[in-house]
């Protein structure tokens, strides 16, 4: 089971909320993943979503095409179906299976490179890595590409006072962010910047995102060469053509604070 394959699982929105029955001790904390796409008989299923639990080393698949969710378990390389009513969606957006969920064996899966393949209800299911998101994109396009970005952005609460101060900027500010859709650090931190962008809508800020390739091609991107980008995420602030500064590695946990420090200095945060 490769690390890449370990990021698969899919389900359809609408899981039921947790009830009196507690969550299973192992089959819990499934987080949405936008890194993979599901195909059924060769056709991509855009309404399917992918959830993965690191602790369980298992994937949950719920698709409109099937009445029952499917649990794909790495330790046993098995596929099991279960009652949809035993799927509990938490306020944070994660998924737990209830402790009394009954798993019905539905077969085994096989690994083909980075792909997971199995047959269910007479149909061939395949989960494959999504192509990397490359080139220039808007924040809205990043959110549409990766559902996990949506959840992480939704759960982040920027400092309201700092957002208010930043919206008072009199001169235009451009924020150019280099990211990798393949990069786990970007998956963690870029959604926070996307939430900040939403909070600054209507102000003087312009946000741009540039997806970088993985591997040797990273160093061949013209914009990356121009700005001497050596890693991602890298966010650069400009006034006109003048670079003001870059969000430091330590600043990505609260990007609005980092932006405020670059524009207004440390006294503004007191």
Domain boundaries, the chain: 5-129, 135-269
pLDDT at 261 exceeding the cut of 70: yes
Q: What is the pLDDT of residues 15-42, one digit of tens each?
A: 444 457 999 999 999 998 888 888 999 9
Q: What is the pLDDT of residues 79-108, one digit of tens each?
A: 999 999 999 999 888 999 999 999 999 999
Q: For the domain covering 135-269, report its CATH number.
A: 3.40.30.10
| Contact in structure between 123 and 63 (CB atoms under 8 Å) | no
The alpha-helical segments, DSSP class H, found in 79-230 are 139-145, 147-154, 160-167, 184-199, 222-226
SS3 95: strand
Q: Residue 154 — pLDDT band, cuts 50, 70, 90? A: very high
């Amino acid at each position: 089971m490769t690390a890449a394959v370990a990021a698969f699982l899919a389900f359809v929105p609408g899981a039921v909320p947790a009830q009196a029955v507690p969550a299973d001790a192992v089959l819990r904390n499934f987080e949405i993943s936008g890194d993979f796409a599901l195909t059924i008989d060769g056709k991509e299923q855009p309404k399917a979503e992918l959830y993965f639990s690191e602790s369980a080393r298992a994937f949950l698949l719920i698709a409109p095409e099937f009445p029952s969710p499917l649990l794909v378990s790495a330790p046993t390389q098995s596929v099991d179906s279960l009652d949809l009513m035993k799927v509990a969606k938490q306020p944070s957006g994660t998924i737990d299976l209830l402790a009394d969920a009954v798993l019905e064996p539905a077969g085994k899966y096989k690994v083909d490179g980075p792909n997971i393949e199995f047959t269910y209800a007479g149909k061939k299911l395949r989960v494959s890595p999504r192509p990397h998101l490359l080139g220039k994109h808007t924040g809205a396009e990043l959110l549409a590409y990766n559902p996990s970005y949506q959840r992480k952005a939704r759960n982040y609460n920027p400092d309201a006072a700092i957002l208010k101060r930043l919206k008072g900027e009199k001169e235009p500010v451009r924020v150019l962010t280099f990211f990798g859709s393949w990069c786990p650090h970007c998956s963690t931190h870029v959604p926070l910047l996307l939430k900040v962008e939403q909070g600054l809508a209507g102000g003087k800020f312009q946000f741009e995102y540039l997806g970088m390739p993985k591997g040797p091609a990273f160093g061949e991107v013209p914009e990356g060469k121009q700005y001497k980008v050596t890693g991602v995420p890298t966010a650069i602030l400009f006034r006109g053509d003048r670079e003001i500064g870059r969000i430091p590695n330590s600043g990505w946990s609260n990007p609005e604070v980092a932006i405020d420090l670059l524009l207004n200095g440390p006294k503004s945060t007191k």
